[in-house]
Amino acid sequence: MIDIGIFVGSVYGNAQQVAEQAQQMLIEHGLQVQVFDDPSLDDFKQSQAIVFISSTTGQGDVPPNLEFFIDELRSSFPLMDNKPFAVAGLGDSSYGDTYCGAGRQIYALLEELQGNPLADFLEVDACETLEPETVVLPWLTQLIPQLTAK
């Protein structure tokens, strides 16, 4: 089993970089963490806690590297049985209605799968924050006790 699976959706590498820094930080806290940029359902099932860090592309769309996996979650619908999850979305508020659309879709899907949300969806706005890790890492740090509660 993996303590925490970080599922990353990224087009230009920003979310990927944040995910790798998050992995490093969680490993320093003694956790077993894997980053998945081309995840399978098994990766999802074998992670005891799920963290998504995803940008938004197109018009509120999930990045191509996660598209197939999200479709697979929707079609096979693996119930999470209260498994803890958290979702951070990287977006840009100048996109208006589609701001952080991918992260929102993912958060809603994990709720439908009956996961246990540990925090509200975290929006990281590229208009306000040039270094998304400065928002995501502190947010994730304060979730560690809940992410690791058995």
Ligand X SMILES: Cc1cc2nc3c(=O)[nH]c(=O)nc-3n(C[C@H](O)[C@H](O)[C@H](O)COP(=O)(O)O)c2cc1C
Task: Note the residues at the interface with ligand X (CB under 6 A).
Answer: 10-16, 55-60, 63, 90-92, 95, 98-101, 126
> Token pair of 68, please?
């197939």
Nearer to ligand X, 47 or 55 (CB): 55
Give the residue at shortest CB distance from ligand X.
Answer: 91
| Least Å from the CB of residue 85 to ligand X | 19
Q: In the complex with ligand X, which residue's Cβ is closer, 19 or 50?
A: 19
Comparing CB distances to ligand X, the nearer of 5 and 63 is 63
The nearest distance, CB 107 to ligand X, in angstroms, is 14
